Amino acid sequence: MRLKQKLQDVLPKEQLGHVSNRIHVIGDVAILSLPAEVEGNKEDIAEAVISQNKNIRIVLDKISKLEGDRRVATFEVLSGIGGTVTNHKEYGFTYRMDVTQVFFNSHLSYEHQRVASQVRPGESVLVPFAGVGPFVVPIAARGAKVMALEKSSSACRWLAENLRANDVEERAAILNADAFCVLQMINRTFDRAVVPTPYGMDKILETIADAVRTGGAVHFYAFKRRQQIDGLSKKYEDMGFEIGLCRRCGNVAPGVSRWAFDLVKC
Ligand SMILES: C[S@@+](CC[C@H](N)C(=O)[O-])C[C@H]1O[C@@H](n2cnc3c(N)ncnc32)[C@H](O)[C@@H]1O
């Protein structure tokens, strides 16, 4: 039964229209984004979510947009016990994190796997903006050697724990640093770069281009409107990349989507 159906006996009709069925689930934590119109009934909605989903332990309300470099929102605990640290399982891997401290998007599981499945054993792979490791872990598990760059020390702590928990800590090095600065100092090239770019940091591609060998691959994520994609593709070609694939992977704002580009450096 979908959330709105479940809420028919809980919320007045005029409020029901304001609630979405979309629930972002990370491990046993459910994250809602409730509008002001249902302010007085938030706890009832949260209890409906818990009663409806036996795997959900705690329900949070996301009360701000993703903010700052760390891309983390502010949350309010609506119902449930045991805090905001959770274990999220994805394609056989486990990611432990405090969802209020780090960025994680469980809707990107297909992308994590799609990219990792292209990696061959022995490759050297660069992952700036690594977060808690949903690209780093499956890529290292493919037998690659990974360099993960992450500015948030909290994310680095969970990333280190997730490398150990998934038995790939031998295959990945973590640099707790600003990717824009440290990349200039890394005097080597990689076979592949996976770049889950935070909103508005597309400029990093210029630096990434120098860090990948000719013939190497770059998986680059950008937030754009559909009508911007042709122009962007032309720009990437002018930068010396061949475009292997361009796919939309989720909306982030009305009319703005996340786009995945599989590029090859010519
Ligand atoms: C959109 S999240 C992606 C995280 C992870 N790759 C994922 O897919 O879940 C961006 C990450 O980049 C980190 N970050 C932001 N600015 C950075 C910078 N200049 N250098 C390195 N990491 C940065 C943030 O702390 C955050 O963990």
Mean pLDDT for the stretch of residues 160-167? 98
Pocket test for ligand 1, best of 72, 110, 129 (most atoms within 8 A of CB): 129
CA of 196 to the centre of ligand 1 (A): 7
**Closest CA to ligand 1's atom 6:** 130
Give 148's strand partners.
127, 174
**Closest CA to ligand 1's atom 18:** 178
Instruction: Give the percent of the chain with pLDDT over 90.
Output: 82
The β-bridge relationship of strands 190-195 and 241-253 is: unpaired
Q: Which residues lie below 8 Å from residue 249, measured CB to CB, with a gap of 6+?
A: 108, 110, 111, 221, 257, 258, 259, 260
Helix (DSSP H) and strand (DSSP E) numbers for the chain: 9, 13
pLDDT at 21: 81
Local confidence band at 69 (pLDDT 50, 70, 90 cut-offs):
confident
Cβ contact 126:149 at 8 Å: yes
- Per residue in 76-95, pLDDT (tens digit) is 999 999 999 999 999 999 99
Domains of the chain: 3-83 (3.30.300.110), 103-265 (3.40.50.150)
Q: What angle do CA 232, 238, 242 make, to 5 degrees?
A: 80
pLDDT at 16: 86
CA of 130 to the centre of ligand 1 (A): 6
Spell out which residues line ligand 1, taking CB within 6 angstroms. 69-71, 103-105, 108, 128-131, 134-135, 149-152, 155, 178-180, 196, 198
Output the CA torsion 203→136→177→60 (10° steps): 90
**Closest CA to ligand 1's atom 1:** 198
